[in-house]
Amino acid sequence: MSIGYESLPKVVERLEGAGYLADESIATVVFLAERLGKPVLVEGPAGTGKTELAKSVAASLGARLIRLQCYEGLDEAKALYEWNYKKQLLRIQAEQGRELSWEDVETNIFTEDFLLERPLLEAIRADDQVVLLIDEIDKVDFEFEGLLLELLSDFQVSIPEMGTVAAKRIPWVFLTSNNSRELSEALKRRCLYLFLDYPDVEREKAIVLARVPEIPEILADQIVRLVRSIRQLELKKAPSIAETLDWARTLLHLGITELDPNVARASMSALLKYQTDIEKVAAHLKVPPKPGLN
């Protein structure tokens, strides 16, 4: 892994340049990931900026992002590699009539020409600097976690027909989890750990002002304070940081400069994604006053 961040302040500075406001704990883990050459496991509620962190590291380094989106049933063929069976069959048919042993045929069809790279193998074999994002690792099973252990510890993968493939350049690796299940100790041992929770009011306000620079500061303050209070309710889906930003942009497009209950209720569908949540928030809606007036 090449040196991209010279110091902790440089991590903060360069991530901010990529649009990501990193606090000290985030900057420290990113800095150590580079120095120690270790993957980072980022856990926390959905919508707290886990995926965005990996994207921003890639952007700040000018590195290529390779993303593996995890889902139930994901297997080796979709994550690591598979063989192009149709092309192999054509080669076998073309070899018919020649006096070749199976060993000869096998040697001919298990080569680079027939190999289909998937995200994990692509990251290992990349000549350029890449950031590998393994997103929502908690959605796969323990068997798939076992598949990752060799890659996460030695930055290599084994292909039975071709042998061991070691990384040409050690990639940055970020794994994200929404805590839908407990991950294995073996996987956690191989990673640095970072927990991302919803930001406090001041940090989320800074994020809104950075991402939606046209918004009045008073409105930004009202938005994040109201969102914070909404997250305390028992909702099917608490609003994410991205949805806070969507709501801020929505209000800006509507020409709103200050929140009131009617405006908040009318625009709530930009923030919440379930009707039951919208109804619950509408019933308890209290828009915080301007700073300094309470």
Per-residue pLDDT, 89:
83
* Confidence bin at 294 (pLDDT 50/70/90): very low
Question: 125 burial class (0-12, 13-18, 19+ CB within 10 angstroms)?
Answer: middle
What is the token pair recorded at 146?
């076992």
- Is 179 a residue whose pLDDT tops 70? yes
Per-residue pLDDT tens digits for 126-167: 999 999 999 999 999 988 998 899 999 999 988 888 889 999
Per-residue pLDDT, 291:
57
- Is 22 a residue whose pLDDT tops 70? yes
- Is 122 a residue whose pLDDT tops 80? yes
Angle at Cα 48 formed by Cα 43 and Cα 51, nearest 5°?
70
CA distance 85 to 77: 12
CA distance 231 to 234: 8
Q: Are 228 and 261 in contact (CB under 8 A)?
A: no
Per-residue pLDDT, 96:
72
* Confidence bin at 287 (pLDDT 50/70/90): low
What is the token pair recorded at 16?
């901010």
Q: Region 98-105: what's the mean pLDDT?
A: 64
Q: Name the residue with higher pLDDT: 38 or 294.
A: 38
Q: Region 53-67: what's the mean pLDDT?
A: 97
CA distance 68 to 139: 12
Per-residue pLDDT tens digits for 260-286: 888 998 899 999 999 999 999 988 776
- Is 2 a residue whose pLDDT tops 80? no
CA distance 135 to 188: 15
What is the pTM (predicted TM-score) of this model? Answer: 0.85
Domain boundaries, the chain: 8-76+119-195, 81-117, 201-283
What is the identity of the amino acid at 287? V
CB atoms within 10 A of CB 166: 12
- Is 98 a residue whose pLDDT tops 60? yes
CATH number of 8-76+119-195: 3.40.50.300
Closest CA to 48 of 238, 267, 264, 276: 238
Please spell the DSSP secondary structure of 72-87, one letter per residue: TT--HHHHTEEE-HHH
Per-residue pLDDT, 1:
59
Q: Region 219-229: what's the mean pLDDT?
A: 95
Question: According to the 3-state scheme, what is the secondary structure of the chain?
Answer: CCCCCCCHHHHHHHHHHCCCCCCHHHHHHHHHHHHHCCCEEEECCCCCCHHHHHHHHHHHHCCEEEEEECCCCCCHHHHCEEECHHHHHHHHHHHCCCCCCHHHHHHHHCCHHHEEECHHHHHHHCCCCEEEEEECHHHCCHHHHHHHHHHHHHCEEEECCCEEEECCCCCEEEEEECCCCCCCHHHHHCCEEEECCCCCHHHHHHHHHHHCCCCCHHHHHHHHHHHHHHHCCCCCCCCCHHHHHHHHHHHHHCCCCCCCHHHHHHCHHHCCCCHHHHHHHHHCCCCCCCCCCC
Angle at Cα 194 formed by Cα 193 and Cα 199, nearest 5°?
170
Per-residue pLDDT tens digits for 180-197: 899 999 999 999 999 999
Q: Are 194 and 23 in contact (CB under 8 A)?
A: no
**Mean of pLDDT over the chain:** 90
CA distance 184 to 145: 8
